[in-house]
Amino acid sequence: MSNTMKLTLKIWRQKGPKDSGKLVDYPVDHVSPDMSFLEMLDVLNEQLVEKGEEPVAFDHDCREGICGMCSLVINGRAHGPQTGVTTCQLHMRSFKDGDTIYIEPFRANSFPVIKDLAVDRGAFDRIIQAGGYVSVNTGAAQDANNLPVNKNDADKAFSAATCIGCGACVATCKNASAMLFVSAKVSQLALLPQGKVEAQDRVLNMVHQMDLEGFGNCTNTGACEVECPKGISLDNIARMNREYMVASLKKEN
């Protein structure tokens, strides 16, 4: 444990949705470079509990980079300084001894803070409920070969489907726009034969819900694509713009 680090954390503390919140300093010592960022926060929380203080609330679940539950804006970057990883996959070796680290929640009015660093990303669930599915009635699944899918389309659909819905795109966008998320969810279905049937209603309904939730507008800065832990491409946003244009022109009422 010779090369442990001493850090100063500036963590956003907010008692509840109505509290105004503020950054609070926490010195932490003996941080191993092999710890994940969340493990480092666990250590801090254990210390806080021992001292009888309120631990820092933060979201996490699988800690394998696939569930989309962890969040955090670390030193101004969603999921921290690395690209292509979630906060749980970020390790303390990305920081240096003596560093000051700012830890803030994903900020967007559509993602209200529940407590400290935990935010309510229910807006994403409501967007999915507005059309991010294929309506399937009962019956056995048919033979897969009945629905030929171009390999290229299948690959693009799969890439879009790797979106874990973490909300880093919203957190990092200067406009708090949810376009990358929504476009991934529109694309993963629009590219496949099962999803094409409802593609037009889907894009209209999901965009409508996205606007209702109060997300900002996309200005093509491309920040979302850079910060997305799954590398979801801006191709999806262009596809959604196309799908939306066609759907709104064809719409009958």
Partner 1 sequence: MKTSIARKILMALSGLFLLLFLFQHFIINSLSVISADAFNSASHFMGYNPIIQFIIQPILLFAVIFHLVMGIVLEAKNRKARSVKYAVNGAAANSTWMSRNMIITGLTVLAFLGLHFYDFWFPEIGYKYVEFGPEDPGRYFGELQHKFVNPVRVALYCTAFIFLALHLLHGFQSSFQSVGFRHNRYTPAIKKLGNIYAIAIPLGFIVIALFHYVSLLN
Q: Which residues form the interface with partner 1 (CB under 8 A)? A: 10, 12, 21, 23, 73, 75-77, 81, 102, 104, 107-110, 172, 174-177, 179, 207-208, 210-211, 214-223, 226-227, 234-235, 237-245, 248
Minimum Å distance from CB 171 to partner 1?
9
State in angstroms the smallest separation of the CB of 1 from partner 1: 29
Q: Is 227 exposed, middle or buried (0-12, 13-18, 19+ CB in 10 A)?
A: buried
Residue with Cβ nearer partner 1 (49 or 158): 158
Q: How far is the CB of 107 from partner 1 (least distance, A)?
A: 6
**89: helix, strand or coil:** helix
Q: Provide the minimum distance between the beta carbon of 235 and partner 1 in the complex, in angstroms, as a whole number.
A: 6
CB of 241 to partner 1, least distance (A): 4
Residue (76 or 193) nearer to partner 1, CB: 76
Q: Indicate the residue among 201 and 235 with the shorter CB distance to partner 1.
A: 235
How is residue 93 written in tokens? 């070796």
**Residue 60 CB: number of other CB atoms within 10 A?**
19
Q: Which C-beta is closer to partner 1: that of 30 or that of 76?
A: 76
Contact between residue 198 and residue 136 where contact means Cβ atoms under 8 Å apart: no
Q: Is 50 exposed, middle or buried, given 0-12, 13-18 or 19+ CB atoms closer than 10 A?
A: exposed
Nearest CA among 224, 218, 186, 191 for reference residue 205: 186
Residue 16 CA to residue 50 CA, distance in Å, equals: 23
User: Which of 33, 216 has the CB closer to partner 1?
Assistant: 216
